[in-house]
């Protein structure tokens, strides 16, 4: 994209002088986010207040340790900011202890392994290809290389999780850690059933709620906190904050979790992100956040219904949360070429493995969609149903470029009606 020097200078008055090349790229990115319909389930738009916190002078501060127990002087303000984030997280989620220092979701999950497991210990978690996460024991992740991870998956008939089958695996393998959570499973999890399984085999229960934390915060999804020993989450995705993470746990596990994060896995926290997390949690405590969370679910269901009406096959046949996974095999098209074509049409998605996928990860049979970003911009059911129809037009055309160009003009026109936050 080519932007005028005036628009770049207006957006970045200092950076445009010191590094005009970078400033131009950042303006291009802002325009991309403005002009396209963003359907990545793990993305969102933060508020202006959160962006201000991310860019504040607290980024200059280095703060190894925890509030009241730092290894550097000059922590009077940082300690207050971190305690503010912790107190708000406790109030929002009802947690006994919260660590807000993990740099992202993967290190947060790794901290749980480090806190409770020894190399070679057995873990029971959801299979990546069935909706789990890399850090739930994929062989491509350190978690699959250093621990004995047994995977559960979807029932072949219902394409949903079967807690009876999960219990049988737990009884057979006796894991030390049982993980519930996902990155591409469109249904609610039965946290009470997972708790019962963990208790029966003497395992700790971890819930990775990175994807649906915002729905939990807004009361649109059951909370895992009353059931789990430890809960990990990112602070972006549906929670609508900066790229960071938190670990929530029972008080009895606080010392182990904190030691695993620092000094176990990282040095100082990113203080500007901690401040932005505090701002995010303040927003999530407001009544209007519950309206947003409920609308995320409503919009995802509308999108799912319209997709199925247009002949798309959805994993589990619908959704209970903010995300949808399309199995494209009945359409005879790969996820990668479709995702690329949709991006040209102004619909930003990601290709994703489908359960029992016989295609390689570089071009799998699935396409993942999510509702949080465009719900934040004000899209409702009408707009999400239109998104499904646009997607169908692109697929049914055989990825015809003239159709893609027409759809791109239409998606751009819709975006102009819904300004960025």
Neighbouring residues of 224: CB distance < 8 A, sequence distance ≥ 6: 180, 189, 191, 207, 209, 216, 231
Residues 74 and 183 in one domain: yes
Give the single-character DSSP code of 223: -
- 8 A C-beta contact, residue 258 and residue 99: yes
CATH number of the CATH domain containing 171: 3.40.640.10
Q: What is the SS3 assignment for 66?
A: strand
Q: What does DSSP assign to residue 315?
A: G
Residue 84: per-residue pLDDT: 98
CA distance 202 to 141: 26
Distance CA 371, CA 213 (A): 14
Nearest to 273 by CA among 50, 35, 96, 1: 50
Tell me which residue of 1, 241, 238, 202 sits closest to 121, measured CA to CA: 202
Shared-domain flag, residues 231 and 295: no
Q: Which range of residues forms the domain containing residue 118?
A: 53-284
284, 300, 325 — which closes off a domain?
Answer: 284
Whether 364 contacts 335, CB under 8 Å: yes
Determine the Cα–Cα distance for residues 217 and 282; give it in Å rounded to an integer.
11
Q: Choosing from 32, 83, 160, 243, which is the catalytic residue?
A: 243
Dihedral, CA of residue 121, residue 124, residue 128 and residue 134, to nearest 10: -40
76 part of a folded domain:
yes
For strands 69-70 and 177-181, give the pairing: unpaired
* Other Cβ atoms within 10 Å of 117 Cβ, number: 19
314 and 280, same structural domain?
no
> Quick check: is 64 catalytic?
yes
User: Binding site for (6S)-5,6,7,8-tetrahydrofolate: what residues are annotated?
Assistant: 128, 132-134, 252
Show the DSSP H helices in 229-328 as ranges.
254-259, 271-284, 287-309
Give the whole-angstrom CA distance, residue 316 versus residue 300.
Answer: 14
Could you tell me if 81 and 212 lie in one domain?
yes
Task: Identify the CATH number of the domain in which residue 373 sits.
Answer: 3.90.1150.10
Decide if 234 is catalytic.
yes
Residue 213 has a pLDDT of: 98
Tell me if 179 is assigned to some domain. Answer: yes
pTM over 0.85: yes
Q: Is 86 helix (H, G, I), strand (E, B) or coil?
A: helix
Q: Which residues are annotated as a binding site?
A: 128, 132-134, 252
The answer to whether position 11 is within a domain reads no
Task: Let me know: does 322 contact 302? Beta carbons within 8 Å.
Answer: no
**Paired strand residues for 324:** 369
Same-domain check for residues 107 and 226 = yes
pLDDT at 10: 81
Cross-strand pairs, 351: 367
Of 241, 266, 284, the residue at which a domain comes to its end is 284
**Quick one: tokens of 176?**
């030390």
Q: What three-state secondary structure class fits 391?
A: helix
For residue 323, tell me if it sits in a domain.
yes
How far is the first Cα of the chain from the last one, in angstroms, to the nearest whole number? Answer: 22
348 pairs with which residues across the strands?
38
Rounded to 5 degrees, φ, ψ at 117 are -120, 160
Do 302 and 404 belong together in one domain?
yes
- Identify the CA nearest to 259 among candidates 38, 111, 42: 111
Single residue among 251, 284, 317 that ends a domain in this structure: 284
One domain, residues 228 and 326: no
Q: Which two tokens stand for residue 86?
A: 């912790």
Same domain for 230 and 262, yes or no, is yes
Q: Catalytic pick from 28, 30, 35, 64?
A: 64
List the catalytic residue out of 28, 32, 34, 62: 62
β-partners of residue 277 are: none
Catalytic one among 135, 233, 234, 316? 234
SS (H, E, C) 344-397: HCCEECEEECCCCCCCCCCCCCEEEEECHHHHHCCCCHHHHHHHHHHHHHHHHC
Do 227 and 330 have their domain in common? no
Distance CA 180, CA 23 (A): 42
pLDDT at 2: 53
d(CA 31, CA 36): 8
Q: Which of 45, 122, 135, 208 is catalytic?
A: 208
**Total domain count for the chain?**
2
Q: Could you report the average pLDDT of every consecutive run of 10 residues in the chain (421 residues)? A: 69 92 95 97 97 96 96 97 98 98 98 98 96 95 96 95 98 98 97 98 98 98 98 98 98 98 97 98 98 98 98 97 98 97 98 94 95 98 98 98 98 97 86
Looking at the fold, whether 299 and 232 belong to one and the same domain comes out as no
- Do 224 and 124 share a domain, yes or no? yes
Which one of the listed residues 176, 237, 240, 301 is annotated catalytic? 237
Q: What is the DSSP code string of 190-217?
A: -HHHHHHHHHHHT-EEEEE-TTTHHHHH
Q: Give CA–CA dist 37/42, Å, rounded.
A: 14
């Amino acid at each position: 994209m080519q932007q005028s020097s005036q628009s770049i200078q207006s957006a970045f008055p200092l950076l445009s002088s010191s590094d005009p090349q970078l400033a131009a790229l950042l303006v291009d990115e802002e325009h991309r986010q403005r002009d396209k319909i963003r359907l990545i389930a793990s993305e969102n738009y933060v508020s202006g207040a959160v962006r201000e916190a991310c860019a504040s002078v607290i980024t200059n501060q280095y703060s190894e340790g925890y509030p009241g127990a730092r290894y550097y002087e000059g922590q009077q303000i940082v300690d207050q900011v971190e305690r503010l984030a912790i107190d708000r997280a406790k109030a929002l989620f009802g947690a006994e202890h919260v660590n807000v220092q993990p740099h992202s979701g993967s290190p947060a999950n790794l901290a749980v392994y480090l806190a409770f497991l020894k190399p070679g210990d057995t873990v029971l978690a959801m299979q990546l290809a069935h909706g789990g996460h890399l850090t739930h024991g994929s062989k491509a992740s350190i978690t699959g290389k250093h621990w004995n991870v047994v995977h559960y998956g979807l029932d072949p008939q219902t394409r949903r999780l079967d807690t009876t089958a999960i219990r049988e695996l737990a009884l057979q393998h006796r894991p030390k850690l049982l993980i519930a959570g996902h990155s591409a499973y469109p249904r609610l999890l039965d946290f009470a059933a997972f708790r019962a399984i963990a208790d029966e085999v003497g395992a700790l229960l971890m819930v990775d709620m990175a994807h649906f934390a915002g729905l939990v915060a807004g009361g649109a999804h059951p909370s895992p906190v009353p059931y789990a020993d430890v809960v990990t989450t990112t602070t972006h995705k549906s929670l609508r904050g900066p790229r960071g993470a938190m670990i929530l746990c029972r008080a009895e596990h606080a010392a182990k979790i904190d030691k695993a994060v620092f000094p176990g896995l990282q040095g100082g926290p990113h203080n500007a992100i901690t401040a932005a997390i505090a701002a995010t949690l303040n927003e999530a405590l407001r009544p209007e956040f519950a309206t947003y969370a409920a609308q995320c679910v409503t919009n995802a269901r509308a999108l799912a219904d319209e997709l199925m009406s247009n002949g798309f096959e959805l994993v589990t046949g619908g959704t209970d949360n903010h995300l949808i996974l399309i199995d494209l095999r009945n359409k005879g098209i790969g996820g990668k070429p479709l995702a690329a074509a949709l991006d040209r049409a102004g619909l930003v998605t990601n290709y994703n493995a489908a359960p029992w996928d016989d295609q390689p990860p570089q071009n799998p049979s699935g396409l993942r969609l999510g509702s949080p970003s465009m719900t934040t911009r004000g899209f409702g059911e009408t707009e999400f149903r239109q998104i499904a129809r646009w997607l169908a037009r692109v697929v049914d055309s055989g990825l015809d470029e003239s159709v893609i160009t027409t759809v791109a003009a239409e998606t751009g026109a819709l975006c102009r009606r819904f300004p960025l936050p």
